[in-house]
């Protein structure tokens, strides 16, 4: 697509607590807006910039800010440490890289890209991923770098309530009632088991550059109080992340439901096989392809410069922009 139109979208997670304090809403929107502008500037500055470079740039910035659940500020496991995961995909040739179980890599998305470009594999996890990181000379930090005092306190509350929490930046009253909520008949469930508060904050970015090249990247710390070794949708190509010649998609939400639906790939398949537009494909994927009760959101761009999003939760932290001047940073519908 010589001389095509670029577009970009960023998300900071779907499933926002409707009672989230206004100052936290504004803080999240400021971070989304700053990271979105970083991507816009990169796309405007050079007509030859590649989509894959922009998604890595933006997600690195999101990982470096503790506001969202990726990189610094990641959720804690049941043992009180951080295990991070990320993936990246270039629609050109459908090249991809993914990592899981990271405890010392400062920017997981960049290690995922190195897996794609510097290894014979598409996915590395845990000890092997950490060894690869050291061999590649990426920046490593102590696990304490990722942990905040707030996270430690929220993990304590989650343990006291005996629940997994999808977000640790919700009003304390919601956390304090977590134990009661999971025992009710109306409790949210994951793989049939009741869970606690539903408002996770995975981050992601999708871009189509001026040459029509699509790329996507997703990064997360996972669930607060999750089991050691748990892997969600974010590093799974086709589930949390996907890019091809037609589009790029990054998902967020109930990981197990997204995995079962292969949600990101579903958007591309609906476009390729049914001839749906980008927004039509996003709507069908979110509204019809998730299991009953599955909660998720996603952002997407198409090779012709369109941008779209969809979610079936109460809100989704998001921002998007196109070359023709459209720009939005929002949380609610």
User: Which residues carry out catalysis?
Assistant: 202
| Residue 232 labeled ligand binder | yes
Rounded to whole angstroms, the Cα distance separating 68 from 161 reads: 23
Sheet of strand 214-220, all strands in order from the earlier edge strand to the far edge: 123-125, 95-102, 84-90, 214-220, 203-208, 7-14, 316-322, 327-330
Contact 164, 196 (CB under 8 A): yes
| Residue 192 labeled ligand binder | no
| Residue 17 labeled ligand binder | no
Copy the structure tokens of residue 182.
């999971």
First to last CA, the chain: 32
H or E stretch at 190: strand 189-190
| Residue 222 labeled ligand binder | no
What sign does the dihedral 48-86-104-150 (CA atoms) show?
A: positive
| Residue 196 labeled ligand binder | no
Rounded to whole angstroms, the Cα distance separating 6 from 311 reads: 23
For residue 100, which of 10, 222, 235, 197 has the smallest C-alpha distance? 235
| Residue 252 labeled ligand binder | yes
Exposure letters 113-139 (e unless 16+ CB within 10 A, then b): bbbbeeeeeebbbeeebbebbeeeebe
| Residue 88 labeled ligand binder | no
Q: Which residues contact 327 (CB under 8 A, 6 or more apart)?
A: 36, 40, 319, 320, 321
| Residue 230 labeled ligand binder | yes
Annotated binding-site members for substrate: 230-233, 252-255
Annotated binding-site members: 230-233, 252-255
């Amino acid at each position: 697509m010589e001389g095509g139109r670029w577009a970009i979208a960023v998300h900071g997670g779907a499933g926002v607590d409707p009672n989230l304090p206004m100052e936290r809403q504004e803080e999240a929107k400021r971070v989304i807006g700053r990271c979105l502008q970083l991507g816009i500037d990169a796309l405007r500055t050079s007509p030859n910039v590649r989509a894959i470079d922009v998604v890595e740039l933006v997600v690195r910035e999101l990982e470096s800010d503790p506001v969202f659940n990726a990189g610094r500020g990641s959720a804690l496991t049941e043992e009180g440490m951080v295990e991070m995961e990320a993936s990246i995909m270039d629609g050109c040739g459908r090249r991809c890289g993914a990592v899981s179980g990271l405890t010392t890599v400062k920017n997981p998305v960049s290690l995922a890209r190195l897996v794609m470009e510097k290894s014979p594999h598409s996915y590395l996890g845990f000890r092997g991923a950490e060894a690869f990181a050291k061999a590649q000379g990426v920046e490593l930090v102590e696990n304490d770098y990722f942990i905040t005092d707030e996270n430690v306190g929220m993990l304590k509350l989650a343990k006291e309530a005996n629940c997994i929490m999808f977000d640790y930046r919700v009003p304390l009253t919601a956390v304090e009632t977590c134990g009661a909520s999971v025992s009710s008949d109306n409790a949210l469930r994951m793989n049939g088991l009741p869970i606690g508060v539903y408002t996770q904050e995975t981050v992601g970015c999708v871009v189509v550059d001026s040459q029509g090249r699509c790329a996507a990247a997703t990064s997360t710390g996972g669930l607060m109080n999750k089991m050691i070794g748990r892997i969600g949708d974010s590093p799974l190509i086709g589930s949390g992340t996907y890019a091809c010649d037609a589009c790029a998609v990054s998902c967020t939400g109930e990981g197990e439901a997204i995995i079962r639906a292969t949600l990101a790939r579903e958007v591309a398949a609906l476009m390729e096989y049914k001839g749906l537009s980008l927004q039509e494909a996003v709507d069908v994927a979110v509204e019809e392809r998730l299991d009953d009760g599955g909660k998720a959101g996603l952002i997407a761009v198409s090779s012709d410069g369109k941008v779209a999003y969809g979610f079936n939760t109460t809100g989704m932290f998001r921002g998007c922009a196109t070359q023709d001047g459209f720009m939005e940073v929002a949380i609610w519908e």
